[in-house]
Chain A
């Protein structure tokens, strides 16, 4: 299967701390890959290292056949990688429409994509003129994901999409992520194993800054011992 993202044994430092001590991730094209692991394992740092926000000192990051480590963050993003950070990172002083328009990489991206975006997140159409600060947590999360869909991204990196959301919203969000994965490959960080197992086809487990296991999500779902050992869930 063709690989969209190939992270090869990256080592990342934050200050003097050696946070990632050998993480490898292979994300097949057109699929959802989940990065799993306990709090502080290094999942978010892995996403940030891919994007060049915390550049790795060692190892390689290959996106769509091109080595991207060492490139500047905005250049990496321009290659077609969308990022949805944790904590619903929208621009609160901008309206919903402005939040979406600002993500245009080419003029007309927003107009071209709005039908698709509003079919995934119908609520946003109703709230289009409202400032980001007036949105609820779930609406902000939807907007953050919708923003990453405006430009023609080949890969979406989503950090903790279900964090702090009500169950009904998680269902809605999962459905939207599933639908968008038909067009865009997705790598997501998810604490909630139930959500991750329903969404993703592939997984990578990260433990204390190292990738310790990866493979097919269906196999992991049957492997109770691994789940218990690395994720603490039964």
Chain B
């Protein structure tokens, strides 16, 4: 008799399914609190629900971007300081193709897909030669060159130089102005699909070799694995995901700022997975929620000085939850005592 696999699957993915259900219902629940019926929310009326949809879209895009960083850093152990370039290629590429060349969305997606592969190959060229911090610095160099190109006046007609790319008109059927709920569900669906793909990847034999490379590349080599190809596979998947996140960013945002090509945006990805938990995948999702809501909440209620409190909160998370929120949850041990000790060490007391 065939074994019933439905209930075990349901049990092991219960948390995920509940989260998914919450996000599916979120716009309608917020609408109800705001006095709008589900039908009004469905036809994309304005109000609190539409605002929350926008905030959630930003979180989904950040989560997608952070997932891509978790794959190469958290799972494969490749510390890249040029990850923002992966995102920016998607963001700028989409904007330029839609605005300057009048490409359709599927054609744009095709080009971005190719660009994602190409930039992974570009990073891959240095993989056999440099490791660790040297790899981080070389990737930073590559991303810096891209950043300089983006803000150069020569490319200004396409990239908008240091002002940023403006005036991109996204396709009507997922326009954030008139079809925000649809864009919300599209972004959510992309995030869920990518998350499932990543789960599959890290639990596959290829994913396990990536974990082995992170732990000790020499040992993986001694088992007969040409580790270069595994690192390249992780880079390619990560690059495609980040470019896809960049593409969604351009569709949602009215402007592509050159900041998304800078080192700061790579640090954003690193920060998100540090908050959520490095090498956990779920941590990228949790980290994106905490990161965006904290930033939004503090800016709204405190203003510009929010950055200072934001920084303090991140330091506190690193000190007291060194495995991130998800990592600590799994280990079931917050390091409160050790956190105070680390804090004391920071200020030089014993």
Contacts and interface: CB of A to CB of B under 8 A. Distances in A.
A binds B: yes
Interface of A: 51, 53, 72-75, 77-78, 83, 85, 89, 91-94, 98, 101-105, 147, 151
Contacts of B221: 53, 73-74, 77
Contacts of B218: 53, 73, 85
B303 interface: no
B51 interface: no
Nearest to A151: B224
Contact of A85 (B214, B219, B227, B279): B219
A43 B1 CA distance: 57
Q: List the 5 closest pairs (A to B, CB-CB), nearest first.
A: A77-B224, A78-B224, A83-B222, A73-B221, A74-B221
B216 A74 contact: no
Given A73-B221, A74-B226, A74-B227, A93 B211 contact: yes
B46 to A, nearest CB: 48
A89 B216 contact: yes
Contacts, number: 55
B222 A94 contact: no
A103 B218 CA distance: 14
B222 A91 contact: no
Given A98-B208, A102-B205, A91 B216 contact: yes
A45 B214 CA distance: 24
Contact of B222 (A51, A93, A98, A101): A51
Interface of B: 205, 208-209, 211-212, 214-216, 218-219, 221-227, 279
Contacts of A151: 223-224
22 contacts: A51-B222, A53-B218, A53-B222, A73-B221, A74-B227, A75-B224, A77-B224, A78-B224, A85-B219, A91-B219, A93-B215, A93-B279, A94-B208, A98-B208, A102-B208, A102-B209, A102-B212, A102-B223, A103-B223, A105-B224, A147-B223, A151-B224
A147 B219 CA distance: 11
Given A74-B226, A77-B224, A78-B224, A92 B209 contact: no
A76 B225 CA distance: 10
Contacts of B223: 74, 77, 102-103, 147, 151
Contacts of A98: 208
A91 B279 CA distance: 15
A129 to B, nearest CB: 14
B215 to A, nearest CB: 5
A147 B208 CA distance: 14
Nearest to B203: A98
Contact of A73 (B208, B211, B212, B222): B222
Nearest to B279: A93
A55 B218 CA distance: 14
A151 B225 CA distance: 13
